[in-house]
Amino acid sequence: MIITYLGKQFFKIQQGDLVMAFNPISKDSKGSVAPSRFGSAIALSTINHPDYNGFEMVTHGDTVPFSISGPGDYEIKDIFVKGIMTETEIKGKKYINTIYSLSIEGISLCFLGAVSGKLSTDVVGQIESPDILFVPIGNDDLLSPSEAYKLAVSLEPKVIIPMEYLPTGQAGDEKMLKAFLKEGGQEKVTPIEKLTIKAKELAGREGEIVVLSF
């Protein structure tokens, strides 16, 4: 599995010939991260907001993704996806945020999306200790670095991938990321361009933070 971070909460995940996109940034986004474009077979959006629902950006040529944008159970290309409903608030406006839980070639993923605050016992009960957890750390509307880390470790993942922090060189970028790493006692983590990992390589890991550059 190859995981590439494209800013905000936008990820490209590739397993063999299968390409998936999580929370692609729309061309209508007013954020500071320029949207990327590529073709994906499956695209998931956790929230109906231009920063996270750019399905048009992962449609390329004849490649049109199977698009998932809300709670429910889905099956596509032998992948089972569970969408779990939560509520969130961005700039004073309430939204439905869908947490996605799925497994690809023996690696379980949990993508929290735009979560804010604590998760209910019911929601936590539907998330089964993922191998890899994606958690937002730098959006003032969502979770502080401390809140993000506490939530992440409560779900008992093997690997934690932080998201939604500013790129290097922008105000506040190092502050948010450093605070998150400090919470985990892993201040010396070096960002990598992409994470390439196999299921067997996850054995023995516990709450390891992996920082992806973009």
pLDDT for the residue numbered 173: 56
Q: Which residue has the higher pLDDT, 62 or 58?
A: 58
The pLDDT score that the predictor gives to residue 122 is: 93
- At residue 166, the pLDDT reads 65
Q: What percent of the chain has pLDDT over 70?
A: 96
Structure confidence at residue 15 (pLDDT): 95
Cα(104)–Cα(1) distance, rounded to whole angstroms? 8
Instruction: Please tell me the distance from the alpha carbon of residue 45 to that of residue 52, in angstroms, as a whole number.
Output: 6
> Looking at the predicted structure, is the pLDDT value of residue 169 above 80?
no
The whole-number average pLDDT for the span 71-79 is 94
Give the tens place of pLDDT for each residue, 89-127. 888 889 999 999 999 999 999 999 999 888 999 999 999
pLDDT (tens digit, 9 = 90+) per residue, 170-200? Answer: 554 578 888 999 999 988 888 899 999 999 9
For residue 131, what pLDDT band results from cuts at 50, 70 and 90?
Answer: very high
Q: Look up the pTM and report it.
A: 0.94
117 or 13, higher pLDDT: 13
Average pLDDT, the chain: 91
Q: Report the alpha-carbon distance of residue 2 to residue 162 in Å, rounded.
A: 16
Q: Which tokens go with 162? A: 């932080």
Instruction: Go through 152-165 and write b for each residue having 16 or more CB atoms within 10 A of its CB, e for each that does not.
Output: bbebebbbbbbbbb
Residue 167, pLDDT > 60, answer no
pLDDT higher than 60, residue 168: no
Tokens of 157: 């993942």
> What is the CB neighbour count within 10 angstroms for residue 147?
18
For residues 11 and 54, the answer to whether their CB atoms sit within 8 Å is: no
